[in-house]
Amino acid sequence: MSVSQLRKDHILGICLAVLATMVWAGNFVISKGVNQLIGPISLAFFRWLLATLIITPIAWSSYKREKQYIKENIKYLFWVSLSGIALFNTCIYVSGHFTSAINMALIGTTSSPIFATIFAIVFLKEKISLGRVIGLIICIIGILILLSKGSFEKLLALHFGVGDLWILAAGFCFAVYSVLVRKKPATISSLHFLMLIFSMGALMLFPFFLIESWYLPKPQFTAPLIGSILYLGFGTSVLAFLCWNIALQKLGTSRTVLFGNLTPIFSTLEAVLILGEKISSIHLLSGLLVIIGLVIANLQASTFSKMKHQTNFSK
C-alpha cells in the first residue's frame, strides 16, 4: 500500500470518527430530555429494535452469503453485542435520571478512551506513543476538574454520584466494545456485523424490557419521544456505528477512541440550546483541556513517519 493511500485511509478514518461523534452527541441530550417519558431499558430496547429493522433489509444479501460464519463466531458476537449494544447505552439512559447531559458527555467520553487505551496495550499489544499518553493525561485532568468543580479540596474528597458511576460503567463497556471490534472476523462484512449485534443486543434487552414494563408506567409516545427514538434508531445506531467501526479499522483502537472526546463539545452545545442547561467556566475549561488532549494525541509529526515505516514492510 502506498504512502498516499495510507494518508487517504487516515484522513477517511478521522472524518468518519468525527461524524460519528457529532451524531452520538445527541444521545446524551435525548437521554436527559426524555427520561420522564420512558424507562431507560425501554428506550434502549426500542432504539435497537428500530435499528435492526432499518439495517436488516440493507444487510440481508450479506447475511445470506455469510451466514455460515455466524456459528463459528457466536461467542465473539455475544460479547460484542453485550458490551456495545445491550449494556453501553442502557447505562447512559439510566445515568440520565441522575445527572446532567453535560456531565454525562464529559465523564462518559473521557473515561472510555482511558479504559480503551489500557485494553489496547494489554490485549492488542498496541504501541502507545508519548504524545498519546500526554494527550490522555490532559483529558484525565480535564475530567477531574469537572468532577471537583475546580476545587482542590473537593478533588481530595472526590466521590462519584450515582449518575457518575453509571456513566463510568457505560465508558467501560464502550471501551470493551471498541477493542473487540478490532477483532471482527474478515468473513463478516460491516453491514452484516451491525445487523447481527443490533439484533442480538435487542434480544438481550427484551426480557429486561418486559420486567421494566411491569414495574414502570407505560411510555408516553408523544411526538418528541417518537422523534427521539427515530433519531436513536437510525442516526446514533446505524449511521454512527457504521462510521465508528470503519474508523476503528482505519486508525486503530487507541487513536480512534480519543475522537470520542469531541462528543462532549457537541453535546454541551446541544444541551444548552435544547435543554436549557447552564454552562459554567468549569465546563469550558474542562472542554478546552479535552480538545487540547485530543489534538496532542492525534496530530503528531510521527504519524506519517510511522506510515512510511509500515509502507516499507508492505512492498
**What are 87's three cell numbers?**
449494556
Torsion angle of alpha carbons 308, 115, 11, 28, nearest 10°? Answer: 180
Q: Is the four-CA dihedral 261, 265, 268, 273 of positive or negative sign?
A: negative
Enter the pTM of the model. Answer: 0.73
Q: In terms of Cα–Cα distance, which of 81, 91, 92, 89 is closest to 198?
A: 81
pLDDT digits (tens, 9 = 90+) for 145-167: 766 666 666 555 556 677 778 88
Q: CB neighbours of 239 closer than 8 A, spacing ≥ 6?
A: 20, 23
Q: In terms of Cα–Cα distance, which of 173, 207, 184 is closest to 93?
A: 173
Only one residue has cell 440550546, namely: 273
The average confidence (pLDDT) of the chain is 79
User: How many structural domains comprise the chain?
Assistant: 1
pLDDT digits (tens, 9 = 90+) for 95-107: 877 777 766 766 7
Supply the range of the domain harboring residue 217: 3-314
Residue 44: Cβ-neighbour burial (10 angstroms; 0-12, 13-18, 19+): buried
Most confident of the following: 143-147, 172-176, 196-200: 196-200
- The shares of helix, strand and coil residues in the chain, as percent rounded to the nearest 5, are 85, 0, 15
